[in-house]
Every structure is written in structure tokens, then in C-alpha cells.
Structure 1
Amino acid sequence: MASIVVLVSVLLIDLIAFGLAVAAEQRRSKATVTPDSAKEYDYCIYDSDVSTGYGVGALLLLAAAQVVVMLASKCFCCGRGLKPGGSRACALLLFLFAWLTFLIAEACLLAGSIRNAYHTRYRGVFGGEPLSCETVRKGVFAAGAAFTFFTAILSEFYYLSYSKSRDAAGGAPYGGSNIGMAPYS
């Protein structure tokens, strides 16, 4: 039977990660071009860097939830054998799709956080060329939030399918060895 503690803790961690990713999208940095006091050059002033922290927090929490699920299921390939059938096939597909959505979510959150941090920490351009105050594109953190949500759903269903197949395997031949060697000694 699937562990309720694992299911609830992973769901809670994933929901917090989703909330942080949404907050990062809403609070992403915006820039304004401002001339210096002598009006010799323009430079960019970026507002708060809080979305970088939200993005990194979402990234770390999503990774933590993925680690919990993989440890609880022994990463699908280690541990007891699973009973062949629909639950094992479903668990395998969900495992692959959960990892795919996890990697996409992590990439979006990492890229958004790095881009946001870069543009809020380095200000000022000197010279006569037009100034471009680049910021994180709208939707980068939102994509990370969406894939965080998909990862949460797929991970939960993966763990349930894995547990169902593991429990159905029971003892030998899938769950362990019942070969006794004592009488042949």
C-alpha cells in the first residue's frame, strides 16, 4: 500500500513549489531607463530581485519532492521486483513522464532565476548606442509553474501505480527469493 506520509508530503512540497513559481512570475523584475544626473549616459534600474529567490525556492522544493518520491520507490529500478501487468507498465510510463516534466520545470525555473538575477545585479551602459533593458520574458516562470504542477500530478500517480504493482508482487518469484539451501548442505 502506498505510504500516505509520502503522498501528503510530496503533494505539500509540490504545492509550495508551484506557489513560489507563480509568485516568481508575478514579481519578476521590470526595468526603467534612467539618465544620470549629468545626462551623459542612460542606465537601467531594475526593481526588486525577489522573483529570483522565489524561483530558486521553487526549484529546490521541486527537486526535494522528486528525491522523496524516488527514494520511496527506490527509483523504480532498485528494490523488490514488480508484478508484470498494467500497474507496472503504467508506473513505468508515469516514471518517464514525471522525469520529463521535472527536467523541463527545473530548466524553466533555473533559466528564469539566472536571467532575473543577471539583469538586476548588473546595471549601467556607457556609450552612444541605444540601451536595452532586458528582463525575464513573461511566461518563463509560468511555464516552470505549469510543469511543476504536471510533475506533481505525475509523481503522485507514479507512486500509486508503483505501490500497487509492488504490493501485488508479494513474495516469490517477484518479491524475493524463497529458495532454501539448508537441506543441501
Structure 2
Amino acid sequence: MASKVVICVIFIFDLIAFGLAVAAERRRSTGVVKPDQYDERTYCVYNSDISTWYGVGGFLFLLASQALVMAFTRCLCCGSVLKPGGSRVWAIILFFICWVTFLIAEACFLAGAARNAYHTKYRGYFSMHDLSCETLRKGVFAAGAAFTVFTLILNLFYYTCYAKAKQDRGNLLPK
């Protein structure tokens, strides 16, 4: 039987990661071109970097959730033999799919946080209209949020299928 406490903790961690991803998307850094007061150069001035930290927080909560699932299922490959049948097959399929969605979500968090933290410096002698301040593309953290939801759903199904297949493994022992 799947532990309700484990399911709740996984759900809460992934919900926090989702919330941080949405907050990071809404608070992405923006840049404004400003003229230098000492010469004819222009440069970019960026607002708060809080979005980077939201992205890192989402990364860490999603990582903790995945680590928790893998610890309780022993990463599917370690531990006792599972009962043959539909639950074991689904557990194996969901194991691989949840790892794919997890890696995509983490890549979005990591790339978004790194790109959001990158700020351009002086660009040279350009007019203020020719210079654009590079910022994170819209939707990177939103993609991370979407894949966090996919990871949550797949991890919960994987964990319950694993628990169901593990529950009846006693029938495999010789009599």
C-alpha cells in the first residue's frame, strides 16, 4: 500500500516548485538602456534578480521530491523483486517517463535561472535605440512549471504502481 504521508510530501514539494516557477516567470529580469553620464556609451540597467532565486528554489524542491520518490522506491532497480503483472509493467514505464519529464523541468529551471542572472555590460558607442538589453526569453520558467506538473502526476502514479506491485511479492516465494 502506498504511504499517504509520502504522497502528501511529494505533492507539497512539487506544488512549491510549481509556485516558484510561476513566480519566476512573472518576475523575470528586465533591462533598460541608460546613457553613461561620463562618456557617450550606453549600458543596460536591470531590475531585481529575484526570479533567479525563485528558479533555483523550484529546482531544489523538484529535486527533493524526485529524490524522495526514488528513495522510497529504491530507484526501481534495488530492493526486492516486484510481482509480475500490470502494476510492475506500469511502474517500469512510468519510472522512465517521470525521469524524462523531471530532467526537462530541471533543465528549464537551471537554464532559466542561469540566463536570468546573466546581465550584459557596456556595449560600446551605440545610440540608445540600437542597443537591446538581453533578457530571459518568456516561457522558460513556464515550461519548467508545466513539466513539474507532469513530473508530479507521473511520480504519483509510479509510486502507487510500485507499491501495488511490491505488496503482493510474497506470492513469488516457493512453497
Alignment TM-score, normalising by the size of structure 2? 0.94
Q: Find the partner of 1:126 among 111, 119, 124.
A: 124
1:139 and 1:39 mapped to 2: Cα distance? 37
Q: Does the CA contact (< 8 Å) of 2:83 and 2:165 recur in 1?
A: yes
Equivalent-residue separation in structure 1 for 2:170 and 2:109 (angstroms):
40
For the residues of structure 2 that align with 1:123 and 1:171, how far apart are their CA atoms?
Answer: 67
5+ residue gaps, structure 2: none
Partner of 1:145: 145
User: Secondary structure at 1:126's aligned position in 2?
Assistant: coil
2-side partners of 1:11 and 1:49: how far apart?
28
Match in the other structure for 2:24:
24
Equivalent position of 1:90 in the other structure? 90
1:58 aligns with 2:61: no
Q: Is the 8 A contact 2:16 2:61 kept in 1?
A: yes
TM-score of the superposition, structure 1-length normalised?
0.89
Identity value in percent: 57
Shift >6 Å, 4+ stretches: none
Report how far residue 71 of structure 1 moved: 0.3
Find the counterpart in structure 1 of residue 168 from structure 2: 168
Q: Deviations over 1:53-98 (max 9, x none)?
A: 0000000110000000000000011111001110001111111110
Rounded Cα–Cα distance in structure 1 between residues aligned with 2:125 and 2:37: 15
State the Cα RMSD in Å: 1.6
**Residue in structure 1 matched with residue 13 of structure 2 by the alignment:** 13
Structure 1 unmatched ranges of 5 or more: 180-185
Query: Per the alignment, in what secondary structure is the counterpart of residue 79 of structure 1?
Result: coil
Matches for 1:72-91 after TM superposition, within 5 Å? 72-91=72-91
